[in-house]
Structure 1
């Protein structure tokens, strides 16, 4: 990621894109490099502009934000997608997370929340409204496929994790911050951060949000 976070705005409402642009351009470390009104244009713009973060609406004519997110993440792993949604319990937003988005944000979020969310996603943290993310995942947990289980009761995808890392992943899936996990498990925050980094590496996931999705898919959380 460059020092200045390059942002692509994707929404079918031009006035909404204008409002976001006014907020972001007022920040020294954020730059709006382009806009798109539908998913297909967004995919083309990402290829041409290589933004750090895409603010992606999910409900658009033509190619929706879910498919656009999937294509962006597959073709450009270095670009993070932050989903824009009207409702905090939105099945479309949930599907976009599973497609590879790094988080989601309500469209009526305050300017400071928008700016903080973009910075978090750009830095790789993807700690965007974790408790809201948890509520949404719990709502749709029953629709998630259950992974194969070994005799030990653990999904094979989690086999590489140590018992402590499994504890940390469960806490991440609850929406806890590193500081809250440290307090619960009586660890330093730096140690928790190290554990989280190892978990992401072992599970081969992009960020915390994808780790949470996997925790629900494997039955480690939400069951």
Structure 2
């Protein structure tokens, strides 16, 4: 029996995924979480085999949660779930150790396939996401490059938390660094993105689909 933890800050989405998987033979949803922070606690309590992890959540977010979870629980397989098929997050999540990446538009068949694939130790990616990554890697990508690709992994995580309205002290606690270090990240972010305020950062994050407008607090 494959034990699954479903993580999403939207109740309707999370409930929908749980219902989709509730009657699937060989799969058991053993828990839910509405944030990256809660996912870490629930993983310690429940020991799931697979975590279906929402990417864009307030607070820690899916990227930082994935890093922390795999540091403490390297045996867990994480499948990132996103509403957008942009190529910024898949690359960062794979670098962080995620085993799969699907969109929230995936049907039950694809979700089951993703779960079984990562349990076998392989990588699973939705076709449209894999195509986007291939176009980028081979120079075939169309359109404007996201400015957020200029940021390091930690800068991206910090940028998303700032855009979500989190205070430097809270961000510092999440990363186990000083508020001064967070302010250094903030300075670098503003310099690389050529912006001058948190409001500009939030608007840019929404425009380039790295932040869900509904998650902005």
**TM over 0.5, shorter chain:** yes
Gaps of 5+ in 1: 145-223
Q: Which residue number corresponds to residue 55 of structure 1?
A: 52
Is 1:124 equivalent to 2:129 in the alignment?
no
Q: In the aligned structure 2, how far is the partner of 1:39 from the partner of 1:117? A: 21
Is 1:12 equivalent to 2:9 in the alignment?
yes
Is 1:135 equivalent to 2:132 in the alignment?
yes
Gaps of 5+ in 2: 140-148, 151-217
Q: CA deviation at 1:126?
A: 2.0
Is 1:24 equivalent to 2:21 in the alignment?
yes
Equivalent pair of 2:117/2:124 in contact (CA under 8 Å): yes
RMSD of aligned Cα (Å):
2.3
Q: TM-score, normalised by structure 2?
A: 0.60
Q: Of 100, 103, 112, which aligns to 1:103?
A: 100
Q: Which residue number corresponds to residue 65 of structure 2?
A: 68
Q: Of 71, 77, 81, which aligns to 2:78?
A: 81
Q: Which residue number corresponds to residue 90 of structure 2?
A: 93
Q: Aligned runs of 1:167-206 on 2, under 5 Å? A: none
Question: Aligned pairs, how many?
Answer: 142
Q: Which residue number corresponds to residue 210 of structure 1?
A: none
Q: In the aligned structure 1, how far is the partner of 2:125 from the partner of 2:88? A: 17
Equivalent pair of 2:87/2:132 in contact (CA under 8 Å): no
Q: Which residue number corresponds to residue 177 of structure 2?
A: none
Is 1:114 equivalent to 2:111 in the alignment?
yes
Distance 1:94 1:45, change over 3 A: same
Equivalent pair of 1:82/1:102 in contact (CA under 8 Å): yes
Q: Secondary structure at the match of 2:124?
A: coil
Equivalent pair of 2:7/2:32 in contact (CA under 8 Å): yes
